[in-house]
Amino acid sequence: MEHQIRFPHLGIVLKNVGDGINIGGFEIKYYGMIIATGFLLGLIVSYYAAKHENKFDPELVFDYLITMIIPAIVGARLYYVIFSWDYYKNHLSEIIQIRNGGLAIYGGVIAGAITLYIFCKKKHLSMLQFGDVAVKGLLVGQILGRWGNFFNREAFGSYTNSLFAMQIPTNFFIEHGRIDEIVSNGLYDKATYVVSGNEAATFIQVHPTFLYESLWCAVLLIILVLYRKHKKYEGELFLLYLFGYGLGRVWIEGLRTDQLLLPGIGIPVSQLLAGALVIGTGIALLYLGRHHKNSPMHRSVTKYEPMPEKIKGKKPPKWNERLFKNMK
């Protein structure tokens, strides 16, 4: 029972749930595999969204995401390390070890947004227009990526006896040297003794916050897809994503027990940022909802014209000379 994950009120028992596979003596964590798969699927969705909406060259989606990979990973890890410095200042060699997790999504989002701004400036693109197209792929990546936390048995919430309560064996944390995680927040003291046939083990029972966020992002994706044809100005979908995602994180961060806290204050950083995001984007949506017709964002900034076939006697334009025309 040491590798089980149970959802007792749903009648679901998952046996032998490992956290990675071993190939030729080299262990590959499911966490990394899932993050990579989510990234790839998000890339594909964003590419076809750009191709369908015909706002800019879909190849630019590949260009941006390839440019963004390293900054996003560095940003996500740096964010996590900064707000966990009490631990990492005594374990400096572990700072670059990300196979076991330790990537904070807000750090990745911040780094990705900065990279997007620079990328759009360099390519003479509208950042908001690009965001409207890319947001669907981003959500697909988040929906899948959160399941990496499931296999790592991390990013869960406090004790609960609700319908979606998830049970994880305490021995998993002992084996992986993570017993402090469930002792410090009182989960170990509330562990449940489970007997199944001839086997028995103690389980912590928690909110599966990874599942909540995955489902929240799925609902948000459906809403944005349905609303896409009704958007009033460039950037509206991107702002709605930021508002909706921030709203979900305010709720979910309140359930988690592993929040990164502001030093000396004890306020969860992610919950504070999520709240600020909701307020900021909420104000922007209300203002633009009333005044978008007077804004240059009311009209699409550019329309993509595919690169022409090679003309006899002339060289085709280079990839960075792709043509754009102003919409009338």
With left for phi above 0 and alpha for psi between -120 and 50, is residue 244 left, alpha or beta? alpha
Q: Single out the residue of 173, 146, 199 nearest to residue 31, CA to CA.
A: 146
User: Residue 212 has what pLDDT?
Assistant: 97
Q: Distance of CA 110 to CAs 20, 56, 78, 114, 230, Å?
A: 29, 24, 11, 6, 28
Task: Supply 285's token pair.
Answer: 């949506």
CA angle 25, 27, 31 (to 5 degrees): 170
Per-residue pLDDT of the chain (328 residues; tens, 9 = 90+): 778 999 999 999 999 898 888 888 888 889 889 988 998 999 899 988 888 876 678 888 889 888 888 898 888 888 888 877 777 888 787 788 776 567 777 788 889 889 989 999 998 888 888 889 889 999 999 999 999 999 999 889 999 999 999 999 999 999 888 898 899 889 999 999 988 878 889 999 999 999 999 999 999 999 999 998 888 888 899 999 999 999 999 999 889 887 777 766 677 888 888 999 999 999 999 998 887 766 555 544 445 555 454 445 555 544 444 434 333 3
Largest Cα span, the chain: 81
Q: How far apart are CA 66 and CA 60, in angstroms?
A: 10
Task: Supply 167's token pair.
Answer: 């049970």
Which residues, including other chains, have CB under 8 Å from residue 169's CB and lie 6 or more apart? 1, 2, 3, 4, 201, 202, 203
Q: How far apart are CA 139 and CA 135, in angstroms?
A: 6
User: Residue 99 has what pLDDT?
Assistant: 63
Cα 62 to the center of its chain, rounded Å: 18
Predicted model pTM: 0.80
User: Residue 27 has what pLDDT?
Assistant: 82
b/e string for 95-125 if b means 16 or more Cβ within 10 A? Answer: eeebeebbbbbbbbbbbbbebbeebbeebeb
3-state secondary structure 138-160: HHHHHHHHCHHHHHHCCCCECEC
Q: Alpha helix locations (H) across 83-126? A: 85-88, 105-123
User: Residue 136 has what pLDDT?
Assistant: 92
User: Any idea what DSSP says for residue 261?
Assistant: B
Residues in the chain: 328
User: Residue 297 has what pLDDT?
Assistant: 55
- Cα torsion through 241, 244, 250, 254, rounded to 10: -110
Q: Provide φ and ψ at 202, rounded to 5°.
A: -100, 140
Cross-strand bridge partners of residue 304: 324
Q: Alpha helix locations (H) across 12-104? A: 30-53, 59-82, 85-88
User: Residue 315 has what pLDDT?
Assistant: 56
User: Residue 324 has what pLDDT?
Assistant: 40
- H or E, element range at 28: strand 26-29
